[in-house]
Amino acid sequence: MSYLLRSDPVSRIHPEPQSLTSFDHFDLLPDSLLLLIFDKVADVKDLGRCCIVSRRFHSLVPFVENVLVRVDCVISDDDSSSDDDDNNNRRFSLNAASISDAVADGGSFSALFRLVFAPIFKPFQALGQFLGPKRSSSSSSFDGEIEQGGVTHHSPTQVLKNFNEIRFLRIELPTGELGVEDGILLKWRADFGSTLDNCMILGASSVIRSNQVKKNLENCVVVDEDNGNIPESFYTNGGLKLRVVWTISSLIAASARHYLLQPIITEHKTLDRLVLSDADGQGVLCMDREQLEELRVTPLSASSASKRTLVPALNMRLWYAPQLDLPDGSVLKGATLVAIRPSESKKEVCDASWLSDAFEEPYGTAAKMLIKRRTYCLEMNSF
C-alpha cells in the first residue's frame, strides 16, 4: 500500500526523510513565517514576482499585511488613446507588478509573468485620475486598464484590490507637489480623519551645511542680532507673504492627497495605518485606524473649486528665527515652523509632543528649538 504525502503545514515542517530532496527549502517553512517574510518585502513589484514563483506563494500574497506602492516616474499622457476628460494631464508610471490580476488569476503562470513587468499608471495633475473612481465608460478608470504604447497600465486601486488583510499601507509619490526654488527647505506633515486634524509646516529660505558654515566663519560672515522676536524686515521684505504661500500650498497639497485616498480607505477596512509620502521627503499625510474609520463613517466635505477635501477654519501658531544653528553644524536661514489645527478643535495647537515628532532629524530638533521662541497667532478661514 502506498501513501501520498499531504501538502499541509505539518508535512511542510516535518516532511518524510525520503521525500526531503523533492522539497524546496521554502517548503519547510510554515505559512505564517512566509507571510512575515512577505511583510518585510512589502513592495508590490517584488510581491508580484513572488506570485509567479509557486502556487503556494500565489495563494499567500493576498494575505500580506504590510504593503508599499512606490510610484517611480511621471510619464506624458499625450500618447494615450483614452478619451479621458483630463487627457493632457501628466501620468504616473508605477513600475510595479499588477498584483490584482496576478492574485486573481490562479491559472496561467505565463500571464502572471507578463503582468509582473507591466507598469501601473494614472494621471498626476490633481491626482484625480491616479486615485479617482471611474467616471464613464470612456474615461480613465481607477479600477480599469489602459493601453498605451502597447503596454497595459493599471491603477493603484486595481493593484491593491485583491489584498485581503492590509494593515499598513504606504504609497510613495515620485516628487512633492510643491515646486520650490533651489535651496529652499519646505516640509509638511498632516493628519486627517474625515477632515484635517492637524498640520505642521517647517520651512527655511536657505540651508547652510556644516562645511559651508566653516567657510562662512573663515570669511567673517556677520549675523544679525537675534533677540527672539520677529524682526521688522520680516514684514517688509516679503518674508511673511512667502510663509503664507508655503502654508496655503502645503494645505492644498495635503487636502488633495486626502481626497483621493477615499476609494482605497473604503475598500480596505482592515487598515490600521495609511501613509502617503513622496520620494523628495516634502510632504507626509498620515491616518491611523481611528481616523480611517472616521472617514468611512463621516463623509468628507469636498472643495467646490477642485478635487480636494475642504480645509476648515484654522488656528495657527508661527515661530520664526532669522538663523537657527542646529547641533549637527548646519544652519537654517529664515527658519519657520507653523502649527495648524481646526478652529473647532479642543486640542492645544502648541502641544510640543506632536510638533517635535512630526519631522525626521535634524528637522525634528529644529522644530523643538523653534517652539521655545516667541509664538505668533494667526487665523485662516475655510477654503
The one-digit pLDDT tens for each residue of the chain (383 residues) are 444 444 444 444 444 444 444 456 777 889 999 999 999 999 998 998 988 888 899 999 999 999 999 876 544 444 444 444 343 334 444 543 344 444 455 433 333 333 333 333 333 333 333 333 433 333 333 344 555 555 555 666 777 888 999 999 999 988 887 877 788 899 999 999 999 999 999 999 999 886 665 555 444 444 455 666 777 778 778 888 899 999 999 999 999 999 989 889 999 999 999 999 998 899 999 999 999 999 999 988 888 777 899 999 999 999 999 999 999 999 999 999 999 999 998 777 666 667 767 888 899 999 999 988 888 888 999 99
The pTM score is 0.73
What is the per-residue DSSP string for 241-268?
HHHHHHHHHHHHHHHHHHHHTHHHHHH-
pLDDT of residue 182: 81
Q: Report the alpha-carbon distance of residue 173 to residue 191 in Å, rounded.
A: 17
Cell of 42: 512589502
- H-only helix segments in 268-362: 289-297, 352-356
Q: 187, 153 in Cβ contact below 8 A? A: no
CA angle 84, 90, 91 (to 5 degrees): 80
Q: 300, 260 in Cβ contact below 8 A? A: no
pLDDT of residue 152: 54
Alpha carbon of residue 15 to chain centroid = 43
- H-only helix segments in the chain: 9-13, 31-41, 44-51, 55-60, 99-104, 109-116, 128-131, 156-160, 210-218, 233-236, 239-260, 262-267, 289-297, 352-356, 363-370
Alpha carbon of residue 115 to chain centroid = 24
Q: 317, 222 in Cβ contact below 8 A? A: no
pLDDT of residue 115: 39
Q: Report the alpha-carbon distance of residue 45 to residue 95 in Å, rounded.
A: 7
Neighbours of 279 (CB within 10 A): 13
Peptide bond into 263 cis (omega under 30): no
Q: Report the alpha-carbon distance of residue 225 to residue 211 in Å, rounded.
A: 23
Amino acid (one-letter) located at 190 = A
Q: Quick one: DSSP state of residue 302?
A: B
